[in-house]
Amino acid sequence: MKEAQPRTIYLKDYQAPDYLIDRTDLHFELEPQATLVRSRLQVRRNPAAENPSQLPPLWLDGADLELLSVHIDGELVPAQRFREMPEGLSIDAPGETFELEINTRIDPQSNTSLEGLYLSNGMYCTQCEAEGFRKITYYPDRPDVMSVFTTTIVAPATYPVLLSNGNKVDSGTTEDGRLRVTWEDPFAKPAYLFALVGGDLQSVEDEFTTLSGRTIKLQLFTEAKNIGKCAHAMTSLKHAMRWDEEVYGREYDLDIFMIVAVDHFNMGAMENKGLNIFNSACVLASPETASDAAFQRIESIVAHEYFHNWSGNRVTCRDWFQLSLKEGFTVFRDAEFSADMNSRAVKRIEDVTLLRTAQFAEDAGPMSHPVRPDSYMEISNFYTLTVYEKGAEVVRMIHTILGADAFRRGSDLYFQRHDGCAVTCEDFVRAMEDANSADLAQFRRWYSQAGTPLLDVRDDYDPDGQTYTLRIKQHTPATPGQESKLPLHIPVAIGLLGENGEDLLLDESGATTLVLHLTEAEQEFIFHNIPMRPLPSLLRGFSAPVRVHYGYTDAQLQFLMQHDSDEFNRWDASQRLALNALGELQAQFRAGETMQAPQALISGFASVIDNTELDPALVAKMLSLPSAQELAEQEGEIDAAAIIAARKFTRDTLANALQAKFLARFRQLDLHKSYAPVAEDIAERSLKNTCLAYLCATATEEALALARAQFERAENMTDSAAALAALVEYATPEVAEASLNGFYSQWQQDTQVVETWFGLQSSSATYGTLERVKALMRHPAFEITNPNKVRAVIAGFAARNFTQFHRADGSGFEFLADQVIALDKVNPQIAARLVTPLTRWKKYRGEEGGKMRASVQRIMDSGTLSRDLYEVVSKSLA
């Protein structure tokens, strides 16, 4: 465990490294509890350091290491010449350049933090980003130290597959019969991109020919039992490689690209050079075991990690404050890739939903920070929705402001200028400017200013002058450490609808969508030759990560749902209509009144259910009510009971009122096609299963019979899990339990399906009670050391089961606090993420907020916390 009150690191204190490491030669002898690591470093004084004429001590980061010896230029270094400290090793430098050899011993077996070298189901693997390499050996573990790595791995013959970055250059057996393999990565890289894998693995192989005609070997490694679940990831990889050549002109550089699936992993996947390591859940799939959502997630994560080869690896980050340089850009790239492979509008809707529910909440909570943070205690806490998703929105806005061709010119200049370097967000923006003589001076504020801007829009029509005026105010609320905010440069894409729903022409060129450049706190935009009072379609395609207020009537929202040429805004109108209804119902509930059926919402939904002109996936999204979490994110104090009651009432009312339509559309889409994870079929299944869920909400025997029939017949996991979820939520507990048991006995050998089975129960508003969640934690398939299981059961309850977690007695909060305290000893990164729902206590009504706060305080008082957990808990209590 780390110290009780960790220090804060500031961007303003950045200093170039004192020493560079030109070459890094690593030698591993793998043993579960005593792995020996020998590291030989070619050290050189950094000419760009401060005071390069002096020779300060060489600082090497280290954690949980047992130091065996230090040699310099072949000579053993006596203990007086170095100092071992809790966070690293300081060594007196003998000169400008020297060879340093360090021998350490580590214990992968007891490493449950899943940072550094650890064992997952008997397989050795590593996770070094952000600061895990220091758990392998003493090293300048910072991304601006880039080195050429050679790695030799020695292991017993029971680990026949031994992998590291780059190309395999040698292999053989040692005198005592162990296997020995040497890998060399010709591209200089920071230590966070280092990877090593050792295990008894099988592989699937393929090939990719680059545009310039080079043949790349592709390999996907996994345990033998999963070998039939690799095809989709391999196809996705080849699509991503082609796309990056075509859209960004980026070719792959090594001769081999490897992916390894591991069951124990803190995040989704990791872009280690030439050797990506994946959470099994984000790479393994078959139609019988993985849902459409899982297929799409795999496609996008495989692409994301592959794209990092340029945006992250060839050009990397100078320091971790620049994390969004690689993550924001790469998320933007993978989102565009997914949009090109599937339905663009639906992909956008999914991303915006995540942003609105989770990123807006982060921006309004105690951990609020800019896309480029200016301080942190523990960098692992800053792999956030703000850095990733809002960071991607910032890159998207540059794309919108400059246009696609100019953006590509900027990207080309960025890669050309900075190839092989560790750079900053500023370097990215400057390349975009320089390639296009553009001015993004004010736009840069998006990187340094936290908080979600709110746009207040008013309009005015002058029938005599035929002019239409939009008046837009922007305001960004205060966030911790940033009291007052400056106006941002916000690209606001808009259209104007005429009385028949047609797009009006907005300028001489006949444009129907214009990007307004909002740069002032308050600004007026005037449109001429507008023949009638139009209805504005605001923020088309969600052109900026902001909230928009405009006094739409329900009738206007229904009109936009019918006519807007912007599919995203059609969906957005449906969500605004639902939010209006849910807001009113919450008010009725709080006032103790009987809740009234939301007529406008019912007729709005009625008009889209059977609209066969629209993409069924878009219809499914339009028929989906905002989640309780998203409702909680609306302004004002959160009243959990009111949210739960209003949402349940709305869902049940819609289900009953529109039953016949839901049934007709369900029947029409219930086609028993053979499975393919292609956009068209995914769309049909999503609408069919949306209809099924509404039908089951009526809890009628006929509806539940449909779900049972689908559950029994389903040949793919999408239909099977959707039917099971409906039964778990709406059938009697006996039927729910019988179905769950049947499902479990069919799939108990399959790790990914068991995770689905856990998550379905813990997140069910009716079935997922605290008692059942506690029972799941005692189930033999539950493992507290496996983050996927923890996320499925504990986060499934605390983050996705608003109804049960927010039970008025506060038992949900106490449970989460207990789990977080226990988990902090096992895996601090996961503990710090899991606690998030409690840390937002300030937004809740008095009594509930008080109970949540007390649970956070109890965590704080429970003893010495990890740096990860301490940071989020202390900021929540501040």
Give the pair of three-digit tokens for residue 317: 């980050």
CB of 355 to Zn ion, least distance (A): 17
Q: DSSP of 343-405, one letter per residue?
A: -HHHHHHHHHHHIIIIIHHHHTSTT---SS-SEES-GGGG--HIIIIIHHHHHHHHHHHH-HH
Pairing of strands 116-120, 123-127: antiparallel
Rounded-to-integer distance, Cα 468 and Cα 564, Å: 18
Angle between helices 751-762 and 770-777 (to 10 degrees): 160
Q: DSSP of 808-858, one letter per residue?
A: TT-HHHHHHHHHHHHHHHH-HHHHHHHTHHHHTGGGB-HHHHHHHHHHHHH
Count the residues in the chain: 878
**Burial of residue 426 (number of CB atoms within 10 Å: 0-12, 13-18, 19+):** middle
- CA 621 to chain CA centroid, Å, is 20
CB of 255 to Zn ion, least distance (A): 24
Nearer to Zn ion, 272 or 716 (CB): 272
Pattern of binders to Zn ion over 366-405, x per CB under 5 A?
----------------------------------------
Nearer to Zn ion, 327 or 433 (CB): 327
Nearer to Zn ion, 330 or 764 (CB): 330
- The residues in 326-355 that bind Zn ion, with binding defined as CB under 5 A, are 327, 330
DSSP state of 791: I
CB of 388 to Zn ion, least distance (A): 7
Give the pair of three-digit tokens for residue 732: 């009697």
Pairing of strands 316-317, 422-423: parallel
Nearer to Zn ion, 35 or 324 (CB): 324
CB of 302 to Zn ion, least distance (A): 12
Rounded-to-integer distance, Cα 425 and Cα 440, Å: 13
Nearer to Zn ion, 276 or 769 (CB): 276
Kindly give, in sequence order, each residue whose CB lies less than 8 Å from that of residue 684, ignoring residues fewer than 6 positions away: 616, 669, 671
Nearer to Zn ion, 385 or 738 (CB): 385
Cα angle 142, 148, 152 (rounded to 5 degrees) comes to 105
CB of 414 to Zn ion, least distance (A): 17
Pattern of binders to Zn ion over 125-144, x per CB under 5 A?
--------------------
Nearer to Zn ion, 395 or 793 (CB): 395
Is the bond preceding 392 in cis, omega lying within 30 degrees of 0? Answer: no
Q: Where does residue 329 fall: left (phi above 0), alpha (psi -120 to 50 degrees), or beta otherwise?
A: alpha
Nearer to Zn ion, 324 or 357 (CB): 324
CB of 308 to Zn ion, least distance (A): 6
Pattern of binders to Zn ion over 270-309, x per CB under 5 A?
----------------------------------------
Nearer to Zn ion, 243 or 802 (CB): 243
Rounded-to-integer distance, Cα 182 and Cα 572, Å: 54
Backbone angles phi, psi at 204, to 5 degrees: -110, 135
- The residues in 302-331 that bind Zn ion, with binding defined as CB under 5 A, are 327, 330
- CA 298 to chain CA centroid, Å, is 13
Rounded-to-integer distance, Cα 835 and Cα 411, Å: 38
CB of 327 to Zn ion, least distance (A): 5
Kindly give, in sequence order, each residue whose CB lies less than 8 Å from that of residue 267, ignoring residues fewer than 6 positions away: 279, 383
CB of 775 to Zn ion, least distance (A): 36
Report yes or no: 123 and 198 within 8 Å, Cβ to Cβ.
Answer: yes
- CA 751 to chain CA centroid, Å, is 22
CB of 326 to Zn ion, least distance (A): 6
Selection from 568, 143, 131 nearest residue 377 by Cα: 131
State whether residue 264 is helix, strand or coil. coil
**Burial of residue 177 (number of CB atoms within 10 Å: 0-12, 13-18, 19+):** exposed
CB of 376 to Zn ion, least distance (A): 18
State whether residue 104 is helix, strand or coil. strand
Active site residues: 305
Cα separations (Å) of 159 from 30, 123, 520? 9, 8, 62
CB of 363 to Zn ion, least distance (A): 20
Pattern of binders to Zn ion over 465-484, x per CB under 5 A?
--------------------
CB of 494 to Zn ion, least distance (A): 32
- What separation, in Å, do the N-terminal and C-terminal C-alpha atoms of the chain show? 23
Nearer to Zn ion, 192 or 747 (CB): 192
Nearer to Zn ion, 233 or 538 (CB): 233
Nearer to Zn ion, 244 or 327 (CB): 327
| Total residues interacting with Zn ion, rule: CB under 5 A | 2
Nearer to Zn ion, 334 or 503 (CB): 334
Rounded-to-integer distance, Cα 483 and Cα 494, Å: 31
CB of 161 to Zn ion, least distance (A): 25
Rounded-to-integer distance, Cα 487 and Cα 489, Å: 7
Q: Which residue has the tokens 């310039």?
A: 212
Kindly give, in sequence order, each residue whose CB lies less than 8 Å from that of residue 391, ignoring residues fewer than 6 positions away: 324, 327, 328, 329, 331, 371
Rounded-to-integer distance, Cα 789 and Cα 263, Å: 10
Q: Could you list the residues that contact Zn ion (CB under 5 A)?
A: 327, 330
